[in-house]
Amino acid sequence: MSWPKVYAGASVLLACSAGSSETSEPRNKRRRTVLVIGSGRLAAIRSFAFLEAGYSVLLACDAAQSLDAELSHRIACNEVAALSLNAHDDFDGWLDGNLSQSQYQDLAMVIVTDTLYARASSMRSLDSARSMREACYERRIPVNIADQPSLSDFAFPASHRWGDDSPLQMALTTNQHACKLASRLKRMLVTALPRDAGQAVVRIGKLRQQVRSCEVKHAVLDQYEEVEEGFSSQPLNMPVRQMAVSSPRPSRCTSPNRTGKACVLTPQLDTQFIGLNTETRMRFISQISEYWPIERLAQLDAEETTRLLGLHSGNHPESSSAISTSSARDHSHVDTPSSTLRHHDSAVASLVASPLRSKGLILLVGSGTGSPSLLTVAAHRALTQMATVVLSDKIVPEAVLALVPKSTKLIIARKFPGNAESAQEELMRLALEYAGQGHTVVRLKQGSPYLYGRGGEEVLHFRKHGYECLVVPGVSSSLDGPTMAGIPVTQRGVADTLTICTGVGRRGKGVVLPGYERTRTLSILMGVARLVSVVETLTQLASDPAAPPAALEPTGESLLYEGKRTRSGTPYPPYLPIAIIERASSSDQRVIASTLDRIVAALQRHGEPQRPPGMMVIGWAVLSLDGEGDISMLDDMEALQEDESLDRLQRDAAIEAADRARIDRWLAGETAIVREGLPARWSDVFEASL
């Protein structure tokens, strides 16, 4: 296994905080101290930053020099303590003689600011800065000396904080290459983010705090709570058991009881999977953090979060997950995490601006791969002109939801691992209720409704209740996801067949994957979270000695696991190309391409955190158009097959050698090829089409 090459010159970006926050316990009663040296504007900026981070600030400067007005104010308010230090003092001796024992023990950092933009009479010399560096180094105290990166242990990035007391901050660094440009880039990033981003972080923090405060078994909480930003210990859509669904049918035992009769099992409410434990609640918070619009997250309040997570005194969430719900409640608050976005009217009465029919309409609309520009004209019209109520899947991108007019009610499915069945039933119930009130209801689905969109069961359900719904096709990611990644699913000389399948079956169960054919491209939807098992199923031999001997049974070239077939046909070569495409056609699209035997490590290295929705493309088409291209796979195979001097084993060995050489040329010594974002020219196309 190869690993990415290390390129020096980067920085480790850390978020330092000495105090406590609303979402953390105080680390200790004593606050860490920072020594800021200087009297000018930069010293004031640094002091303010450390005060907000919870540090005690000691300011050391020449008493004869005038202080920045802000520093004078903070000293007068006892926010900053001042000490006397001039540019010619011996800093080594000054540290020992001017700091109290507690100040010295609590000293965390030294910040020198009077080496930059100071008056000539007070500006610290380079020799003085070096001596300060040596004194700090001997004491193992990190030091930053302004405008002297070679003498500094760390640097200050260009940063921004959302609001006076917001926990959301952003930092950007050019690693001392272009400091002014860093400030400009920071402004561009800040303006590009949603205006409510800071408030959304506050709301999610309070949501997590509510879960923590109501749990007694902290050991369970610690197991499932994610505390590291930028790292996830589990895939966002990791397979879990499904929660109980409403009105479950009695199930029959597979084996008879002692009387010889089939026993009937009484449906039981599985409280472990209906949102009553920490795991489910924290996973739900992770899901809405990823899928809900930022504007919607910013509106969460205590009452709504209590209802959504089932944190009220009865400890039963007001949800369709819990067998039954009250039909008398206002539907803007029924078992949906959505209610309405702020720019969507929350009252049903606001929907009567256009006359309602005595019997409404239901449309199943495909939202395409992700970009609003790839919506069909019919889908765009249904969303923007026809709908009075939109019931959306959770993975429909925010950019598509933004097209929904302000006067239209918007409800987002509360689908998260373990709750998919309950959320599906809830949306179908809401669709019928709103249609019964005369509304035009759009069931908005990612991709195309009939391609793993559960559109068929909704059509039958609505037909059973007297509604013949209209199905509006959408662009499917199985076809256009690869296109956006530069991968043709069929290509002359490479692949003449496309097979589309899913990585997960009904209620989270496994599926039977097709066997390997050289001329076939395999497109797998909804399987990235199960990548390890998918790769094992595809590549494992029917009599693999590494597999449990009792579990695997050779049946020709198919694979059986624990008596169930998991692959139908020949195993896939481990060196076969595979591409994982995440959030296709969105601005944060990512493509990770490698081989079957390397893709798991590549995803762990480059793909954290994951960006659902994701899909996989497997086959020689993955590399066919990369670089100069390679569309000779079938020609090479045919030429070797026509060579009568070779027997079958020799031909197979020659084909494998040629294929491995292709892989080596394609990857060029790397483990994987990673592409972030869309090609630059695509932004012009998308913007022009809106």
Q: Active-site positions?
A: 393, 415
178 touches 274 (CB < 8 A): no
Complete DSSP assignment for 584-596: TTSTT-EEEEEET
Residue 19's CB is within 10 A of a number of other CB atoms, namely 15
361 touches 382 (CB < 8 A): no
Cα gap 621→579, rounded to integer Å: 10
Two tokens, residue 550: 């009792």
Cα gap 585→132, rounded to integer Å: 52
* Angle (deg, nearest 10), helices 455-464 and 420-436: 40
Q: How far is the CA of 471 from the CAs of 88, 383, 423, 450, 464, in angstroms?
A: 80, 13, 20, 9, 16
State the Cα torsion 313-315-318-323 to the nearest 10°: -140
SS3 at position 298? coil
User: What are the residues whose beta carbons fall under 8 Å from the beta carbon of 282, sequence distance 6 or more?
Assistant: 208, 211, 221, 224, 225, 226
148 touches 165 (CB < 8 A): no
Cα gap 658→652, rounded to integer Å: 10
Two tokens, residue 309: 């997570």
Closest CA to 618 of 515, 689, 533: 515
243 touches 321 (CB < 8 A): yes
SS3 at position 431? helix
Two tokens, residue 55: 């540090």
Cα gap 171→158, rounded to integer Å: 6
Report the chain's C-alpha Rg in angstroms. Answer: 31
* DSSP conformational letter for 183: H
Cα four-point dihedral sign 569, 575, 576, 579: positive
SS3 at position 228? coil
Strands (E), 336-380: 361-366
Closest CA to 672 of 140, 4, 198: 4
State the Cα torsion 229-22-31-50 to the nearest 10°: 60
Q: Which amino acid is at 481?
A: G
Cα gap 326→335, rounded to integer Å: 10
User: What are the residues whose beta carbons fall under 8 Å from the beta carbon of 612, sequence distance 6 or more?
Assistant: 236, 237, 290, 395, 528, 529, 582, 583
Residue 228's CB is within 10 A of a number of other CB atoms, namely 7
Residue length of the chain: 690
Q: Judging by DSSP bridges, how do beta strands 389-392 and 33-37 pair with one another?
A: unpaired
Residue 156's CB is within 10 A of a number of other CB atoms, namely 16
State the Cα torsion 432-435-436-437 to the nearest 10°: 130
Q: Which amino acid is at 539?
A: T
Angle, CA of 54, 58 and 60, to the nearest 5°:
150
Q: How far is the CA of 629 from the CAs of 240, 336, 440, 672, in angstroms?
A: 41, 48, 49, 17
Cα gap 331→329, rounded to integer Å: 6
